[in-house]
Structure 1
């Protein structure tokens, strides 16, 4: 028994090293990711969007291998949060591109339909992308872009808001449905406003 205990004692450093190099490394990476996310959310709550972006970027870099559905969803949520922060920080070009890529990726993921969490993430990404398209259209019009250039942009937002409103209504989420319908009406109004009327309005908050 004494020899067995000594043998087990001698193996402890080996086991600790194996854990540190395997599961321990992943645990440390997840802890670091959570710490960065806490900082990012705190910065966002204060309206410190540049700070939030930096912390979301750091969280994305700390993520361990995306070898489980939960980690894939977590990484996508970080990307969405970072894109939203960029939208609020007036980094519209980057936010719009990243949201478009994320919506496409989620839309092509066959697992989304059967997963409420992923479906909700897709809806959230669609809404954020539609918002980006709306602001983008507003700026294009102010810069004097021809209708042939800005109309396809606002049409993307219009179709997305309509889809979100219909899906929310089908789920019985009347408050969300009304909110999306209001966004839809805003896109229709944006397309119909004369340039002089548009120039007299304040830029919408992001």
Structure 2
């Protein structure tokens, strides 16, 4: 039962998102070059040629006008998912986090949900691999807790509108909880998802990301403290 719940999560892939938006009969892209690159990327994905797919997505994004915000975000999501297959899971997860911030400010709730679902899956994979790399509990629990929160939100959002999607998100939520509760020996006995097999040094990459972001966060806190206290007195009387 545990294995089935965990495997269910791996099946989530937003490849169909591009097939829908950029397939025959849909509104054309501003440039034929971008259209050709997207077709090439989808063909590379079908052949599991992930680096070539990433390169094709890069070409499409370079050709697509900045005004095509929604289409660019769809391409960025597809590229991020492809990066997981070439050993860039932490980098892909970070890209998805930024993309979720962007889509949350827009009006396309369907795209936002797809980004959130992909991000939750990436967080799940990250927690899994961090456990296999013998990270401290507080380290691997962080991405799993974020995955749990995202899948729970998705399940709640679709509860009244899409029963099947809500059920799927609930199953993924249960998979995250099960993974967090498993003994390490049980995790080590599970077959590694194909999407994760090329990823190494996930712990060190995640630590590096947190370290690189820390100065910016600290500066914001310092700026906030400075703004709250105002100018320091110069010690001179009136």
TM-score by length of 2: 0.67
2:150 is the counterpart of 1:185: no
Q: Which has the higher contact order (CA 8 A, sep 6+)?
A: 2
CA deviation map 1:58-91 (0-9, x unaligned) = 1111112x23xxx110111110110111123332
Q: Is the 8 A contact 2:44 2:52 kept in 1?
A: yes
CA deviation map 1:18-49 (0-9, x unaligned) = xxxxxxxxx99611111100100111122221
Distance 1:174 1:88, change over 3 A: farther
CA deviation map 1:108-153 (0-9, x unaligned) = x1x42xxxxx211110000110011000001111111111111121
Whole-angstrom CA distance in 1 between matches of 2:50 and 2:30: 24
Structure number with higher helix proportion: 1
SS of the residue corresponding to residue 158 of structure 2 reads: helix
Note the residue ranges of structure 2 that are not aligned, 5 or more in a row.
1-27, 196-238
2:87 is the counterpart of 1:131: no
Q: Is the 8 A contact 2:155 2:167 kept in 1?
A: yes
Whole-angstrom CA distance in 2 between matches of 1:193 and 1:122: 31
SS of the residue corresponding to residue 198 of structure 1 reads: helix
Whole-angstrom CA distance in 1 between matches of 2:133 and 2:50: 25
Note the residue ranges of structure 1 that are not aligned, 5 or more in a row.
1-26, 113-117
Report how many aligned residue pairs link the two structures.
168
2:151 is the counterpart of 1:161: yes
Distance 1:37 1:133, change over 3 A: same
> What's 1:7 paired with?
none
Distance 1:28 1:159, change over 3 A: closer
Whole-angstrom CA distance in 1 between matches of 2:171 and 2:50: 26
Q: What value does the CA root-mean-square deviation take over the aligned residues?
A: 1.6
CA deviation map 1:85-106 (0-9, x unaligned) = 1123332122111111101111
> What's 1:19 paired with?
none
Whole-angstrom CA distance in 2 between matches of 1:90 and 1:28: 30
